[in-house]
Structure 1
Amino acid sequence: MSSIIILLSPEQAIVATDTLAVNLDGSPRQFTTKAFLLPHLKTIVAGTGLAGLASAWFRRVNEMMLVRSLDHLNFHTQQGLCELYGRDFGEIDGHEVSSSIYQIGVGDDGRMHGYSYSSFYDFEPRRMEYGLQMKPTAGPETEDSQRTIAQLMLAQRNLQDKEPASARVYIGGDINLIKLELDGTAIHTSLDRFPDYQEAEAAMYKGFGAA
């Protein structure tokens, strides 16, 4: 359960995520990083859904895989994610949790490309279109406007807060952003912080102490 906002063009990629991870009941568990930079591949790996899958996949790519580029990595990703998910993440405490992984970076043709992989489709690679993409939706009136990324993520959260707790995507913490250029130059920054950050943090420590 996460927010992700991606702005993809042939020359540049921007990936923004929130940092809130929750328990299965929706209560705050921790703050965490959900997008990771692989400078040697000029690639960003990000994830939504099950906490820990994106970071586990990042470690596997970074420490165990011999690949030369984003497209070379894409060739091996479906099999690798199916193995990782089935072994360590397919069922958590008796609950099946769907997840998506995104890999965005410089392709073999020298242009920026993106691929998405969903556990719902057995992590089959799907080429991402250029333009603005986000999950969950922020509403048609915001997706077609010139809203900033921080405003879009707040709109996502406002919509999700209206959903039943069992169906809600929980969004919070900080808004982290990675901007990647074709030459590999990257900026990783924190854009903003949700107003209930301290409240969520207090709930995390309270829950940790009760565990």
Structure 2
Amino acid sequence: MTTAVDQRLLGAAHTGDVAAVRAALAAGANPEARDPLGRTALLTAALADQVAVAELLVAAGADPDAQDQREDSPWLVTGVTGSVAMMRALLSAGPDFELTNRFGGVSLIPAAERGHVAYVQAVLEETDIDVDHVNRLGWTALLEAVILGDGGRPHTEIVRLLLAAGADPRLADADGVTALQHAERRGFNAIAVLLREAESDPRKGDTP
């Protein structure tokens, strides 16, 4: 049951009122209390990019993996918002990098789709997230960056970062279409060049 002090915590987390969050916690608010949508204060803070609030909640033991009714968690939504500061605030809480959202994706995948270059770079460098994780649509972060991206500079840079991190360019989607084939069909020439070079790299081996 959500108490009045829990409700104050949830509201303050959303607005970024650090003093009110601290007061609510001191008054006994439950860091894992949930709103009607199943969101904890930490998830609310992550959605609103309230980093200082998130740091307080993490110090109070808030769970970075608590999922709401939509299967979002504080950690997972950092890939949606692209907030590197929030990502780093949550790292000390030990998030589960294998936890998936309602599409079966890890945080790297929506970040690649949305063109969050700084986030993609940071999460690849600072965590051991699976660069080739396949979601329920049959897409990796690399495939999603091409299929749902616009072929512009951010998505081109994300493709470069993913390949440099070891993403397999020959992993195809559920229809057997590779990222290179998608890039060629959409006229993403700069991305296609990167993918051709990666596919021809002998270090990738001969097994598709």
State which structure, 1 or 2, has the greater radius of gyration over its C-alpha atoms. Answer: 2
TM-score by length of 2: 0.22
TM-score by length of 1: 0.22
Q: Which has the higher contact order (CA 8 A, sep 6+)?
A: 1
Which protein is richer in strand relative to its size?
1
